[in-house]
Structures are given as C-alpha cells and as structure tokens.
Structure 1
Amino acid sequence: MDIQEYIESGILELYVYGALTSKESKEVSTVLKQYPEVEKEVEQIEAALQNLATAAAPYNPEEILAAIRAKLQSNNGVVKLNPASQKRTRLLSFISIAASVIFLVGIFVLLNRTNTLRKELQVVEIENTKLESKLQYSEDALTETKEILAVIRDPQVTKVPLAGQQVAPEAYVNVFWDKESNKAYIDAMGLPEPPEGFVYQVWSLKLDPLTPTSMGLLDDFVNNTNKVFALENPNDSQAFGITLEPAGGSETPTMEQLYTLGVVANNA
C-alpha cells in the first residue's frame, strides 16, 4: 500500500468526522493498527479540528464536531474508496458543511455579543440618567441655599426667635420675616420629627386680643434636608407660634400642642 497516497486520498478526514460507513471505518481502523504514520495523521486531523472549533467560538468544540457529523451522516449515499474523485467530492462536501457550521456559530457569537453590548449600554444610560438627576438636585439645593443665606443676611429682614414651650422645652425655631415680599422663612431645625399622621402648623398672631391666622404647614418635614420652609405671610404679625396638628392642619391652633412661640421685637 502506498501510505502517502492513502493519507492524501481524504479517507482519514472522513474517518475522523464519522462520515464513513461502518465497513469503511473498520477498514481504516485496521490500517491504523498496521501503520503508525497513518495513526499519527489521524491524531493531527483531530487536533486541527478541535483547534478550529475552539477558535470559532467559546463553546464546547465537541458540540460543533457533533453537529458536523450529524450533517454528514444525514446523507444516505455510500462512500466508496474508489474512485479517488468521489473521495475528493466527499471531502469537499465536508469542508463546505464545516465552514457553514463555523460561520453560523460565528454569527451566533456576534449576535450574542451585540445583545450583551446593548444591555451594557442600557445600564450606562440608566446610570447617566441617575447622575444627571443627582446633579440637578445638587444644583437646585445650592440655589435654594444661596437664596436662604441672602434672606438671613439681609438687614431688612426681621428675625424672630421662637422658644420651646411646655410640651417641648428643648425645641427652638427662627423665623426670618421679609415684610417687603410678604414671605417668612421658617428655620425649623430645632423641632423634633413629627409623629406619623401629624404635621407642624405655623401661626401668625395678633396679641390683643389673641388672634391666630394660619400661615401654612411644614409639609414633608422628614425629607427636607435643611429644614427651612418658605411661607406666605401678608399679615401684620405681632408674634409667631408653631403647633403640632393632625395631618392636613387645623382651623384653629391646638394650644396643648404649642411647640414654640416668639414675639416680634417691637411688640415685646
């Protein structure tokens, strides 16, 4: 037997790919036992196929090899050792099928990677949106802080300290009353957090006779970081008081829940 001609015939590739009939496979197995160089060639073919499959995708090369074998074995024709042209045709058929399988695997990998990148991009966009929201919040907070500082430092603004009363002697509040804009800024950092279902209500007071007028509620007290609230105050106030009222506020102050009270300086 011409060993070189046998190796170059393509029969060994078909043997490795499982594309031979049972009889042909037995014949090749017999040759392998007799000729070590033929056995070595088969080992090289197997190694080359494994490397090719591994390079094509990060999937198990055995799966690709099995797919190729299944495709080849779906052909019902019988492979004959002769003539040589039929062997070459069979080999070319395998190469075409193998290339197609590898191409499809490559397409799958590309699509999978594209989907992964798309998901990663969505995550980045969400994070950017969160960062933009945080930045906007910071800018708004800075603007608000500057406005508050401007009011506090304005010599035309009247500052009225409110002292803690019997229900909360440790409490304190500062009211900054801008008479020109009819606004009062309530610095309520000295008030304890209101119980659930209750809210602080601010009152403008006339002293003689005692006449309370609601200025509004310190809404969302817990989430207000700096605890400064701006309320309208068109009243000719002589004093200010803050009471704890049921959620939604009350028409008249609950004096038993008077937390702070303070008199405007020229009425003291």
Structure 2
Amino acid sequence: MEKKLHTFFQSGLLDKYILDETSASESLKVEHYIDTYPEVKSEYERLQNNLEIIAKASAVEAPKFILDNILEEIEEDSIPVIQLDKKQRSTPWYSIAASIVALLFAGGYYMKTQQNLDLLEENQVVVDEIFDLRNDIEENNKRLDNLMHEFMKLNNPETEKYVFRGNDRAKDLKTVAYINPVDETSMIDVVSLPQLPEDQTYQLWAEMQDRMINLGILDASQKNLQSIPYVKDALALSITIQDKDRLDRTEADSAVAEIDLNKKNN
C-alpha cells in the first residue's frame, strides 16, 4: 500500500485536484483516495490550508465596470403610418400623393441616419467596455500566476513553517514564517499585530552569531503573504517593537516574539 500511495503522491493529481485542473475521471480517482486513505486525506487538508493562506494575497474586489449597456435591447424605430382618407375621389391628386411619398422618404432617411449614428455611438461604448474587460482579465491572470507561484512555494516539501507568538508585551501577536533553505526563499504571513502608538512600529530581525540584520518593517495593515529577505546561516528570527526614529538598531529586551531556526535545521 505504501508503494501505491507513493505513486499517487508522485503523480501530482492531488495538487491538480486542489487547483481544479483534473478531468472527471481523475477527480473520481482523487476523491476515492481521499475517502479511502487517511494519509491522502491529511495531505489534502494540508494543501487546502496552504491555499487558503495564500489566497489572501490575491484578494481582489469584483471589477466595477458597467456591462449593462452591452445587454440593452436596441429597439427598432417604427415608421409612423399615415392614415389616408378612404373617401373615393373622382379626381386623383397626383401632386399630393407625390408630396406625401417625398415626405415619407425624407422622414425615413432622417430616422435611419439618426439610428445609424446612435448605433455607432453604442458600438463604441461596447468596444471601450470590451477593452477594459480584456485589461481586467489580463490583470487577473497575472494575479493567478502569482498565486500559483506562491502556492507551489508553500507546497514545497523543503519549506519549513515557523509560528511567531507574542510575549506579554504583545499577547495577540501571531505571524507565520515560511523558509526554504534549499531555494533560499523566505515568506511571512502577518496574521495579527496588536495596535501600537503612532511613534512605534514592528520590525523583523535575523539573528547571526555576531550581529542582528534588519529585515524590514511589519505593517499591521498588510495581512497577506509577502516575501522577506532570506538570510543564510541565521540562528533565529525575532520581531521587535521599535521607535520610528530608531529603526537602525535594536535593544536586547525589545523583542516581543522569536523563533529558533536551529530547532528544525538540526
């Protein structure tokens, strides 16, 4: 059975199923494995959790362009019917009939011309909206590509997960770091950061043997997955509370959360 599960995991079907890229027969096979094998179910839940984490990075509000104009019905202008006197005349009024025909022709020509102008204007509106829609689709495709790229990073078996938990000075702090020492990539997910006074901010540091390396400010409003500098041979990562006018150095007791990178590297 272990060989069978190994072959299934190596096939990549579970990843494709999570991303809704499997065929009907492949989906049935994956669902059978999820229902039958606890190992597959556990891995499926882990992938779902990873996908939920990175989905925040591409949260996008629905486009606000107007497409109602495309669906509006273009009503055909009706040509008014002139009721002619049915009273029989002994003498045909050719001149009057000719005038009526001329008026009808002129009126119809004017109405048709005006209708064509209106159609041209509406067509231009539709063209503009289609162009905007195409730009939105291209932008969404770029976001999807970025989302897929981050998902693959999280799903990499070499990626380690570290959870920052705040001490008494920041009890509600929770942040998750994802570090891949093979690809030398690092990402951080800001889950929650307690509010600070306006003159203070959170800052991320990498601890080396002989010094601390500044990795940048953590913004409480940026609650999404974001890349951070990878520091080779770092012993630990820490989050400190800093005065905004003293961001270039940190005190020994200013850390409010730390993770030891050696625990998983050894």
TM-score if structure 1 supplies the norm length?
Answer: 0.52
* Counterpart position of 2:204: 202
Counterparts of 1:113 and 1:223, CA distance in 2: 47
Whether 1:118 and 2:124 are equivalent positions in the alignment is yes
Q: Secondary structure of the residue that 1:104 maps to in structure 2?
A: helix
CA displacement, residues 124-182 of structure 1 (integer Å, 9 cap, x when unaligned): 332333233223212211211211321xx21xx66655442221134344444444555
**Cα distance, 1:114–1:262 mapped onto 2, change above 3 Å:** same
**Cα distance, 1:144–1:180 mapped onto 2, change above 3 Å:** closer
Does the Cα contact within 8 Å between 2:206 and 2:237 map onto a contact in 1? yes
Counterparts of 1:135 and 1:193, CA distance in 2: 35
**Cα distance, 1:196–1:91 mapped onto 2, change above 3 Å:** farther
* Counterpart position of 2:102: 96
**Cα distance, 1:123–1:254 mapped onto 2, change above 3 Å:** farther
Work out which of the two has the higher radius of gyration on C-alpha atoms and give 1 or 2.
Answer: 1
CA displacement, residues 207-239 of structure 1 (integer Å, 9 cap, x when unaligned): 6x7x322123346x53453x34332314x4222
Q: Output the aligned Cα RMSD.
A: 4.0
Q: Secondary structure of the residue that 1:108 maps to in structure 2?
A: helix
* Counterpart position of 1:141: 147
Q: 5+ unaligned residues in a row in structure 2: which ranges?
A: 1-74, 83-90
Alignment of 1:58-207 (within 5 A): 58=78, 61=80, 87-150=93-156, 153-154=157-158, 161-179=163-181, 182-189=184-191, 191-192=193-194, 199-206=201-208
**Cα distance, 1:205–1:223 mapped onto 2, change above 3 Å:** closer
Does the Cα contact within 8 Å between 1:198 and 1:247 map onto a contact in 2? yes
Whether 1:229 and 2:227 are equivalent positions in the alignment is yes
Counterparts of 2:199 and 2:249, CA distance in 1: 18
Counterparts of 2:203 and 2:154, CA distance in 1: 20
* Counterpart position of 2:212: 212
Counterparts of 2:246 and 2:149, CA distance in 1: 29
Give percent identity, aligned residues only: 14
* Counterpart position of 1:265: 262
**Cα distance, 1:206–1:139 mapped onto 2, change above 3 Å:** closer
**Cα distance, 1:247–1:93 mapped onto 2, change above 3 Å:** farther
Q: How big is the shift at 1:257?
A: 5.4
Whichever residue aligns with residue 141 of structure 1, its letter is L
TM-score if structure 2 supplies the norm length?
Answer: 0.53
Instruction: Judging by fraction of residues, say which structure has more helix.
Output: 1
**Cα distance, 1:99–1:186 mapped onto 2, change above 3 Å:** closer
Counterparts of 1:250 and 1:180, CA distance in 2: 30
Does the Cα contact within 8 Å between 2:204 and 2:217 map onto a contact in 1? yes
